[in-house]
Structure formats: structure tokens, C-alpha cells
Amino acid sequence: MRVPKQRGPVSGWVSAVMRGRNAEVPTLSAGSVIGDADVQLALWMIYELHYRGFDDVPDDVEWVLSLIQLRREIEVRFEAELRAAMAPLPTVADDLGQQILDIADADGGPSLALFLQREADAGQMCDYLRERSITQLKESDPHSFVLGRLEGLAKVALAELQYDEYGGGRLERLHAWLYAQALRAAGLDPTYGAYIEQVSAVTLATANVMSMFAMNRRFRAASMGHLAVFEATSSVPCRRIASGLGRLGFPREVAAYFEEHIEADAVHEQLAARDICATMAAEQPHLAPDILFGAATCLYLEGLAAADLLARWRVEERMAS
């Protein structure tokens, strides 16, 4: 992948610095960073240096101080915005694992999956597949950064979950690979980062929050709380989406990705909530509120992403008329 086209002054500055040019450091505007495509793309690009990097950027740009400084500045704003939106957090229950599953169950967000199952046209389905490619083509990669920060049963459970995500020793079961196959079968571009210039600010935010939680040790508990809710809100929607793909006559390879996640995530939600999160909280009770913060953040951002797509397709308007 090459450095994406800038979306404003902040991503433009990141792009210039990555190519070794001197440029004046941009000031972040006062508004929301979650809804700012320029800022989210800038953050995504800085994180990407720690994943696959860019063909036209030297590897050692990963640790250029001015980029790390900007990343930090954006992260502080991103966290503050999320903390404000999530306040007040629920009280930590005795059975934190069950509490997380209950939080996921109580999700009252707009049902994107229901719309995709019953009403979406092929163009809207492709739109959804493109947006989701940003997180799914590096599915599970953020959480691999957390593995080294955990101990005991929580580490064992995350490793077990990741091994399944990474195909259990078989490339053809690697989830990110399955997603690339799904994109190809749907007639879309399976190349890593192909749609980064087109996706929405909130799609970038859903990807960035996972990297922010995974790459900062202080967010290790939030990262696992986020993972648990992500897994616990996946099986049923994946079943709906697979059914929608069948209704629209998409090739089998497209639904195969979602079908794999019906069974996989029914396992993973139990592992993540009970073996990872509940164990972490039992061993280090001070981490429990952050687990809940991560859990709530997942629902919040995924809800924004769903609302954003439904609004793009003018679904509410149509339903109201």
C-alpha cells in the first residue's frame, strides 16, 4: 500500500512528514475528532506504520518523534471524547463476564444487520463490505499487541482466541484471508487498504480505537473489554448478513466469511468475557472500570458506524415516509 491521499491539513502533514518533507505542524481544530475524517485518517496512517507500513515510506519513519507526538495529541482528544460519551460507567458487577454479555445484549443501537438481511440492495451491501474492509483485513492484529501484556489464564484465553482468528494453522481459515476472498467474490478490491481513501470518519474511528487500546499498555483492559463486546455482538448479526447475502444472490464465498463468524464468535464471546475480562478483573480489580469503558466504547462506536451507513442510504427517511 502507498500513502493514501490526504483528506485535509492534518493527514496532509502526516503524509509530508512520512515522505521526509518539512512542514509546519498543524493545529487540531476544536470539534469532535471522532467525526473528523482528516484527523482519523492521520491517526490511522501513523498506526499503520506499526502494522504493514507503506511501500513509499522508509521503515524507520515508524518512530519519527513528531509523528508520535501528533499521535499522542490525537489520542488524548479521542480518549477524552470517548470518556465523556461513556459517562457514567455502570458499577462493576460481581460477575463481570456476565455483565459484559448483558451489556452487549442490551444494545439498542440501529440494526444495520437487520436492514442488510431484509432490505439492502446489492450496492448497499457492497458499501457495507467496503467500509468493513478497514478493520477486517487486519482482523485480530490489534489484539496481538496486547498478548504480551497479559498473564496467566487471560493470556492463555486470548492466545486460544487469536489462534482461531488466525486460522488454527490453516491459511484458508485465517479470518482476514476469508474477508479478502469475500471482497474478491463480491467483485470488490481485496487489496489491503484499497478503500482507505473512501471510507467514513467513523469507520476510521472504529479501526483506530482498536489500535489505540492495543498499542497503549494503559488501555490493555479497555482493549479486552472492547474485544469481548465486539465478539458478543457478532454471531447474530453475522447470521443476518449471511442471510441477506443469500437473498441478494452473492457468491457463496462472500457469505462464507460471515458464516464462519456465527460459530467462531459464539465461542469467542465466552472466552473473551469470562476467561479474559473476568479473570483480569479478579486478579487486578482496579482494571475492571476500564474493561467496562472498552466494552461501552465498542457499542458506542459501532452504533455510530451503523447510524452513519443507514443515514447515507437514507433508510430512516424512507421508513418514516
Partner 1 sequence: MTHPISVRLCPDGPLLVRGADSVTDDTGVEHPVTRPVVALCTCGKSQRKPWCDATHKAIRR
Can you give the binding site for partner 1, defined by CB under 8 A? Answer: 98, 101, 105, 160, 163-164, 168, 173, 235-236, 239, 262-267, 269-271, 274
* Residue closer to partner 1, measured from CB, 23 or 236: 236
Residues sharing a CB contact under 8 Å with residue 175, sequence separation 6 or more, in sequence order: 136, 139, 140, 165, 166, 167, 257, 260, 261, 264
Count of beta carbons in the 10 Å neighbourhood of residue 270: 17
Q: How far is the CB of 118 from partner 1 (least distance, A)?
A: 16
Nearest to 237 by CA among 89, 137, 132: 132
Residue in the block written with cell 454471531: 235
Q: How far apart are CA 237 and CA 50, in angstroms?
A: 31
Q: How far is the CB of 23 from partner 1 (least distance, A)?
A: 48
Q: Which set of grid coordinates corresponds to residue 194?
A: 484499497
Q: How far is the CB of 237 from partner 1 (least distance, A)?
A: 10
Q: How far is the CB of 165 from partner 1 (least distance, A)?
A: 10
Which DSSP string corresponds to 101-114?
A: HHHHHT--S--HHH
Helix or strand or coil: residue 106? coil
Q: How far is the CB of 94 from partner 1 (least distance, A)?
A: 13
Query: Quick check: 269 and 101 in contact, CB under 8 A?
Result: yes
Q: Which set of grid coordinates corresponds to residue 49?
A: 506504520
* Residue closer to partner 1, measured from CB, 127 or 160: 160
* Residue closer to partner 1, measured from CB, 7 or 268: 268
* Residue closer to partner 1, measured from CB, 18 or 101: 101
Q: How far is the CB of 131 from partner 1 (least distance, A)?
A: 23
* Residue closer to partner 1, measured from CB, 75 or 275: 275
Query: Quick check: 154 and 280 in contact, CB under 8 A?
Result: yes
Q: How far apart are CA 221 and CA 314, in angstroms?
A: 37
Q: How far is the CB of 297 from partner 1 (least distance, A)?
A: 21
* Residue closer to partner 1, measured from CB, 45 or 299: 299
* Residue closer to partner 1, measured from CB, 259 or 290: 259
Nearest to 276 by CA among 228, 211, 244: 228
* Residue closer to partner 1, measured from CB, 85 or 236: 236
Environment class of residue 210 by beta-carbon count within 10 Å: exposed (0-12), middle (13-18) or buried (19+)?
Answer: buried
Residues sharing a CB contact under 8 Å with residue 169, sequence separation 6 or more, in sequence order: 163
The DSSP output letter for 191 is: S
Q: How far is the CB of 157 from partner 1 (least distance, A)?
A: 9
